[in-house]
Amino acid sequence: MANLSFMNLPAVGFIGLGIMGRPMARHILQAGYPLIVHSRSRPPIDALVELGAREAKTPAELAAQCEVVITCLPDDETVRQVWLTGAHAALPAMRPNTIAVDMGTTSPSLTRDLAAYAQSRQVAFLDAPVTGGQWGAESGTLTIMVGGARDAYERALPVFQAMGKRIVYVGESGKGQLMKLANQIAVAVGMLAVAEALLFAEQAGLDLNLTVETLSSGAAGSWAMENLGRRIAQGDLQPGFMVRLLQKDLQILLSEARSTATPLLGSALVHQLYCHLERTGEDRLGTQALIQVLRRLGGQE
């Protein structure tokens, strides 16, 4: 497969058109790539087909037609089934010298297993999880962390650039996922810091919008404060990134940490706090809904 360039664009397949996958796929299409899509949900397929994409009925049908196949899927079980174990799995259908890309957050061990299988079929496998949330996916400004063979990364780079603002090559297979897990530590514990600060401000009778504006301008400023803190102040708990997906990431993270005896006290605490939202059926809210747990602990609800 030659280097990907905008003068000779290869067919790209995209499987998984949820909150993140749909806008990511749209950016690929808008960059001029022939796009083939597959998803369990009908509306995003229809929307992308209307923009010029084609639909494949199965992952295998899609994979057989594409030089780059991308998935953006919610959990390890789905990733394993779509790529490898399902009746119409993608990897067995891919041609030699093509590129498979997993852009969800997947356990590093499964990533390495998929990469090994892909290599046995002369297919390059890249783990390329993202950060930036729904806003980054919609605006095409995601940060993408890529693990796998460097030559495959370089060949696929223009496709990544259609979806993201900062593309980082991390190293061998699995390293992209490990970098994403490190990112999720900062995301989770940072969300707790924002929620606690705003809970304190609320209890003290401070205006929450003014609090967010003030804290964002100083040493406490962060992406979470500016974006999710503002949503808390406005009473908006709708997802850019759902609690249930962060919980999945934290479960992978804590499992990895146990295997290396790495103490992650803050991450473990945040995981337990979010368990409350899972028990109350609120795990499809955005991660800023952590404020609700703290309010309940403080007797405000």
Distance CA 16, CA 75 (A): 11
Token pair belonging to 152: 């495959």
Asked if residue 292 lies in contact with residue 277, where contact means CB atoms within 8 angstroms, the answer is yes
CA separation, residue 97 to residues 7, 15, 122, 152 (Å):
20, 20, 6, 9
Let me know: does 274 contact 246? Beta carbons within 8 Å: yes
Both tokens of 210, joined, read 């003014």
Which of 57, 165, 180, 248 is an active site residue? 180
**Nearest to 68, CA basis, from 109, 105, 19, 31:** 31
**∠148-118-128 over CA atoms, to 5°?**
35
- 149, 175 Cβ separation under 8 angstroms: no
57 is annotated as an active-site residue: no
Which residues, 6 or more positions from 215, have their beta carbon under 8 angstroms from its beta carbon? 197, 221, 225, 229
Residue tagged 């496709």 (tokens)? 159
3 state SS of 87: coil
Among all residues, which ones are annotated catalytic?
180
